Chains A and B, each alone.
Chain A
């Protein structure tokens, strides 16, 4: 048999498929009857700001006279903003999560022998560990409300309601006090374990899993809430300098968090990288990158990145440590294009 080679086309679909998370507002006491809560609008506001950025100290603009003129001028800008209305103290963040089966099965792979070896490898992992450990960690990130991002910071109370839906009806449900669970340690309890077991079944394909998640964040009347911001290139002069994401449903324009951002929070389970003790869990990424920190924690030279681990495992039959096996499988659940060009 010839030596096994990497496939030049290798792609995996994501197996945790979240929807956009939509924002609604209401009263904390009425959170059990929240179906009719009004949505949170994104509005535009114009502000008269100051010029407060660090000035250039080189070139023609270092002339102090010119600088004086500039910083005395007001800085006019138009931005988007979303807030709770003044008669509501609670933000409801609502999304669905679909768990798809077929972990490790590539959606495209152009080497038949590589494909069968890969499937065999992943089958070995599944028989040894199952998806329990990963699923429990995903469940923790649902329960601790990490997907709320900045909305979780400074909240008085956060309650997460999760329900499994089948044929348009809830079949079982959970309720979590998110602030009681730490973001750093990914600790779990009996409730979280039960939710994790369900997600594991979904990943293994023994059951179709669809979760509805409603998070209630009590943050105070009229407080600002934080939907995703849009990335827009080539802004012209006078264009809005901050655009927030909203989903149109009928005539409603509902403030929302991008599904990608929800997905990133849910897969923030990597505590197996060098430096995890100080930094806490990071999102599963092939190179362990954290955009907000501008850092890659799994650089190829440390031999702890996804590609090195996968190649060792599949091509060279040298099994990584248990933790790194979890990481490789979690990367496959995340999905992506992992082919190797010549």
Chain B
């Protein structure tokens, strides 16, 4: 598969401190916690559709920064979801309880926008107006199934052109970073998994094992020279806040023509059955980032392999900073 890079953007929109109530905390069949990046790229698509086609802009990527969360769980060692009771059945008998996970979030979002010709020359006042309009539209949507609450934040949404020169871009990002703290940004760490098996090599078992290792805490005994045994766990300090992350979907079936599969959401969209794709992510404080491209998640789709997934360029740009800063994405 060809390596992906963030498509060109020319403006950044910062939506500060959204409070989200009762978002879905079950992000995939094997993990729970914070909603995954697909929830936010989906939000981006819904937002773009709701803004209407007449608006001359394209939403390319979204950065996810979490300031605070409260998972609706109970228990200290074993966590159980706090559930909700469903309405009774039609005969008045008690309905089954469906397990669902909920979480309250406080988020900042950074959208990477590609403004069209008419907007790319717009003044800052016009951009401010646009930012307010986008925020108002956003407030009528749901984030991972949760409602957005009217915030108490004094910060306003900010929409800024991306400056031409590298230095100015860095200055701008440095300022943006301050607004995003304290908090943690969700970034991709695909590089922590072993490279995929080449054709001819045995299997991908290694990758699955590596992924599973990051989903749990292993305790193992270590004996020193005197034979004293001490217990260590598999995540030592300084390795970062690594989390398992569903990043998208892989096709299980060919693409069916619209309307040929029963009980789909609508009859006008092609349909295919998919399963979740997994990778690793890291929660990192924004002050460790140097470039907006490290922050943004963007969706891609590969028709030949049937892979729909979200990408983040953090690990691509990290190794070679700051040399890569001058290069256009």
- Residues in chain A within 8 A of chain B (CB atoms): 8-9, 13, 17, 19-20, 96, 98, 100-101, 108-112, 165, 208, 210, 230-234, 239, 243, 245, 247-250, 258-260, 285-287, 289-291, 294-296, 299-300, 305, 339, 341-342
- Which single member of A17, A112, A305 contacts B267 (CB below 8 Å)? A112
The minimal Cβ–Cβ distance linking A273 to chain B, given in whole angstroms, is 13
Tell me, in angstroms, the Cα distance from A300 to B90 when the chains sit together: 7
Contact between A296 and B70 (Cβ–Cβ < 8 Å)?
no
B window 289-325: CB within 8 A of A: none
A20-B21, A232-B74 in contact; A9/B84 too (CB < 8 A)?
Answer: no
- Which single member of B88, B91, B136, B150 contacts A291 (CB below 8 Å)? B88
Tell me, in angstroms, the Cα distance from A110 to B91 when the chains sit together: 29
The minimal Cβ–Cβ distance linking A216 to chain B, given in whole angstroms, is 20
**Contact partners of B91 in chain A: CB under 8 A:** 296, 299
Contact between B90 and A296 (Cβ–Cβ < 8 Å)?
yes
- B129: CB under 8 A from chain A? no
Tell me, in angstroms, the Cα distance from A249 to B268 when the chains sit together: 44
**Contact partners of A234 in chain B: CB under 8 A:** 80
Tell me, in angstroms, the Cα distance from A289 to B85 when the chains sit together: 13
Tell me, in angstroms, the Cα distance from A239 to B21 when the chains sit together: 27
**Contact partners of A249 in chain B: CB under 8 A:** 68
Contact between B22 and A259 (Cβ–Cβ < 8 Å)?
yes
Tell me, in angstroms, the Cα distance from A206 to B85 when the chains sit together: 35
The minimal Cβ–Cβ distance linking B130 to chain A, given in whole angstroms, is 15
**Contact partners of A250 in chain B: CB under 8 A:** 68
Interface string of B69-109 (1 = CB under 8 A from A): 01000110000101111011111101001010000100000
**Contact partners of A286 in chain B: CB under 8 A:** 87
Contact between A248 and B140 (Cβ–Cβ < 8 Å)?
no
Residue of B nearest to A231 (CB): B83
- B266: CB under 8 A from chain A? yes
- B264: CB under 8 A from chain A? yes
10 residue pairs, one from A and one from B, having the closest CB atoms:
A289-B88, A296-B92, A287-B90, A230-B82, A248-B70, A8-B263, A231-B83, A108-B265, A19-B149, A289-B87
Interface string of B240-279 (1 = CB under 8 A from A): 0000000000000000000000111111100000000000
- Main SS at interface, chain A: loop
Query: Could you jot down 26 A-B contacts, CB within 8 Å?
Result: A8-B263, A9-B265, A13-B142, A19-B149, A20-B21, A98-B139, A98-B147, A98-B150, A100-B140, A109-B266, A110-B267, A112-B266, A112-B267, A230-B74, A231-B84, A232-B74, A233-B80, A239-B75, A243-B82, A249-B68, A258-B84, A286-B87, A291-B87, A291-B88, A295-B92, A296-B89
Contact between A96 and B97 (Cβ–Cβ < 8 Å)?
no
Contact between B140 and A110 (Cβ–Cβ < 8 Å)?
no
Contact between A294 and B149 (Cβ–Cβ < 8 Å)?
no
Q: A230-B74, A247-B70, A291-B88 are in contact. List 15 more A-B contacts (CB 8 A).
A: A8-B262, A19-B149, A108-B266, A110-B263, A231-B83, A231-B85, A232-B74, A232-B80, A232-B83, A233-B83, A233-B99, A258-B84, A285-B87, A287-B88, A300-B90
Tell me, in angstroms, the Cα distance from A286 to B150 when the chains sit together: 30
Tell me, in angstroms, the Cα distance from A147 to B237 when the chains sit together: 48
- Which single member of A101, A291, A342 contacts B262 (CB below 8 Å)? A342
**Contact partners of B136 in chain A: CB under 8 A:** 208
- Which single member of B90, B94, B140 contacts A299 (CB below 8 Å)? B90
Residue of B nearest to A210 (CB): B150
Contact between A165 and B150 (Cβ–Cβ < 8 Å)?
yes
Tell me, in angstroms, the Cα distance from A342 to B90 when the chains sit together: 19
**Contact partners of B140 in chain A: CB under 8 A:** 100-101
**Contact partners of A294 in chain B: CB under 8 A:** 88, 92, 94
**Contact partners of B21 in chain A: CB under 8 A:** 19-20, 259
The minimal Cβ–Cβ distance linking B255 to chain A, given in whole angstroms, is 17
**Contact partners of B74 in chain A: CB under 8 A:** 230, 232, 243
Tell me, in angstroms, the Cα distance from A114 to B239 when the chains sit together: 55
A20-B21, A210-B150, A294-B92 in contact; A260/B263 too (CB < 8 A)?
Answer: no
Residue of B nearest to A20 (CB): B21
The minimal Cβ–Cβ distance linking B285 to chain A, given in whole angstroms, is 18
Residue of A nearest to B92 (CB): A296
Tell me, in angstroms, the Cα distance from A299 to B84 when the chains sit together: 23
The minimal Cβ–Cβ distance linking B77 to chain A, given in whole angstroms, is 10
**Contact partners of A20 in chain B: CB under 8 A:** 21
Chain B CB within 10 A, most for which of A98, A165, A234: A98
Tell me, in angstroms, the Cα distance from A299 to B88 when the chains sit together: 11
Tell me, in angstroms, the Cα distance from A300 to B83 when the chains sit together: 28
Tell me, in angstroms, the Cα distance from A8 to B264 when the chains sit together: 8
Residue of B nearest to A287 (CB): B90
Residue of A nearest to B93 (CB): A294
**Contact partners of B97 in chain A: CB under 8 A:** 231, 233
Tell me, in angstroms, the Cα distance from A294 to B85 when the chains sit together: 13
Tell me, in angstroms, the Cα distance from A52 to B107 when the chains sit together: 48
**Contact partners of B89 in chain A: CB under 8 A:** 287, 289, 296
Contact between A247 and B104 (Cβ–Cβ < 8 Å)?
yes
Tell me, in angstroms, the Cα distance from A101 to B185 when the chains sit together: 33
